[in-house]
Amino acid sequence: MTYREALKYLDSFVNFEKSDGYDYRASFKLERMKRFAALLGDPQESVRSIHIAGSKGKGSTASYVHSILGAAGFKTGLYTSPHLVSFRERIRIGDELVSEDDLARILARIKDVVESSMKDRQPTFFEIYTALAYIYFEEKKADFAVYEAGLGGRLDATNLVEPLVSAITPLSYEHTDKLGDTLTEIAIEKCGIIKTGGVSVSAPQEEEALKVIEDTCRERKTRLIIIGRDIKFKGSASDEDSSTFDVSGPCGEYKNLKTSLIGAHQVVNAATAIGIVEALRLQNVIIPERAVRCGIRHAKWPGRLEVIDREPFVLLDGAHNKASARILIEAVKKIFKYRRLVLVLGVSKDKDVKGILEELLPEAGAVILTKSKVSSRALDPVEIREKILNTKHDIKDVILTHNTEEALNTALTMACPEDLVLITGSLFIVGEAKEHYQKCENTA
């Protein structure tokens, strides 16, 4: 199987990341994933793991933990989703993405199992890719693997691991048609990753969500570390290049930590990652302070308040619900200086479009609407415009475009050097914008 054939094979499976209108509980079957992994020899059991779920910041937190463990000298795998430009971004060890050859070779092995033993219960795209990660980390003899849960947690394909530490990043309203329309219901799904007798870490939470986390840990006799209570943090400075902050806890103090991931929310994510690292001590894994400092400093997580150009500033951020849009716009106003904000927006049908608009429109001087070329969940820009017209915000420039490339080119034509172009609403849009920029750079 060649890499191109591998991508074609992957694309033949049901992909709920791009699909719309499916029944979550009927479609997500952990028993199917258990059977699938067993047929492959349960590769997930061979590597010590950390498992992270949440609504906001789970990818950033996973990236911080991955970077810290790598700085401590461990061969560490990272599994995240979705990708921005290449499928290979989802699976890496250290700074190296899974190679095209390894991906194709492992997928050929998986294909044999699927076609011989799973014709009756076909796995999904995400289950296939998760299995690929399990095998890859086992083959490479990784010391640790950090897994970001996909949708929810309880029924997610990553939930086969028995992690040294489980973590829940900030919870907010997301995928309410699937996970539930209250924070309690959403938290129950996310808490499905908490294992009996283990160690768990929670980022700061709304009271309703925290109660579910605390009750779950109590019932499962799991030790719980809460960021903001057991491990404290304080941000001291932030600009368009970095954030500086302090973290303190039972195991010591980390003064003047610096991260290139900007925004106050990234300080929360970094503190949560340090909480996970401190929790590893309970599993006899001791990470030195120098590794924490180095890992925090060098962690990368593209597409989240990422500056890809200046004069004008061009920012990418995958904010896709009301809470993340609020955090995004607060960070933009605090960190950047600009004359006018030109908003490039594309969203999925199942998102809280009204809530996203409520947060972003007050700061926007112009809005360029678009849709992803790859996601069937993408909402038509005409429908987004109708929702804008039904708000109290009188924005003179609301422009419709057919795709992300056209939207980005339109924004850059409109923007002055003193303006700021913000591309957001969907990681699909962010990924397409990033890919377009990379192509432009390669042909310049």
What distance in Å separates the CA atoms of residue 191 and residue 181, rounded to the nearest whole number? Answer: 16
- Give me the pLDDT at residue 375, please: 82
Residue 444 has pLDDT above 70, yes or no: no
3-state secondary structure of 88: helix
Bridge partners of 243, per DSSP, are 238, 259
Residue 288 has pLDDT above 80, yes or no: yes
The H or E element that residue 178 is part of is helix 176-179
Look up tokens 């993340």; give the residue: 324
- Give me the pLDDT at residue 236, please: 76
**pLDDT tens-digit readout, 194-211:** 999 999 999 999 999 999
**pLDDT tens-digit readout, 349-408:** 888 899 999 999 999 999 999 999 988 889 999 999 999 998 888 888 899 999 999 999
What distance in Å separates the CA atoms of residue 114 and residue 40, rounded to the nearest whole number? Answer: 10
- What values do phi and psi take at 341, rounded to 5? -100, 120
- Give me the pLDDT at residue 20, please: 67
Q: What is the gyration radius of the CA atoms in the chain, in angstroms? A: 21
**pLDDT tens-digit readout, 125-162:** 999 999 999 999 999 999 999 999 998 999 999 999 99
Separation of first and last alpha carbons in the chain: 34
Mean pLDDT, the chain, whole residue set: 94
**In this structure, what token pair is assigned to residue 258?**
């610096």
For residue 24, name the pLDDT band (cuts at 50, 70, 90). Answer: confident
- Give me the pLDDT at residue 261, please: 95
pTM as predicted:
0.94
- Give me the pLDDT at residue 443, please: 65
- Give me the pLDDT at residue 351, please: 87
Please state the rounded mean pLDDT for residues 181-200: 96
**pLDDT tens-digit readout, 233-283:** 998 788 899 999 999 988 889 999 999 999 999 999 999 999 999 999 999
Bridge partners of 398, per DSSP, are 367
Shortest CA distance to 216 belongs to which of 153, 129, 147?
153
What distance in Å separates the CA atoms of residue 20 and residue 426, rounded to the nearest whole number? Answer: 15
Q: What is the 3-state secondary structure (H, E, C) of 399-412?
A: EECCCHHHHHHHHH
Helix 353-360 / helix 322-335 crossing angle, nearest 10 deg: 10
| Residue with the larger pLDDT of the pair 25 and 388 | 388
| Residue with the larger pLDDT of the pair 19 and 337 | 337
**In this structure, what token pair is assigned to residue 361?**
């429109």
Please state the rounded mean pLDDT for residues 24-52: 93
Cis peptide before 82 (omega within 30 of 0): yes
Q: Which amino acid is at 320?
A: H
Helix 322-335 / helix 264-280 crossing angle, nearest 10 deg: 110
Contact between 136 and 26 under an 8 Å Cβ cutoff? The reply is: no
Domains in the chain, ordered, with CATH?
A: 3-298 (3.40.1190.10), 306-439 (3.90.190.20)
For 393, other C-beta atoms within 10 Å of its C-beta total 15
**pLDDT tens-digit readout, 290-315:** 999 999 999 999 999 999 999 999 99
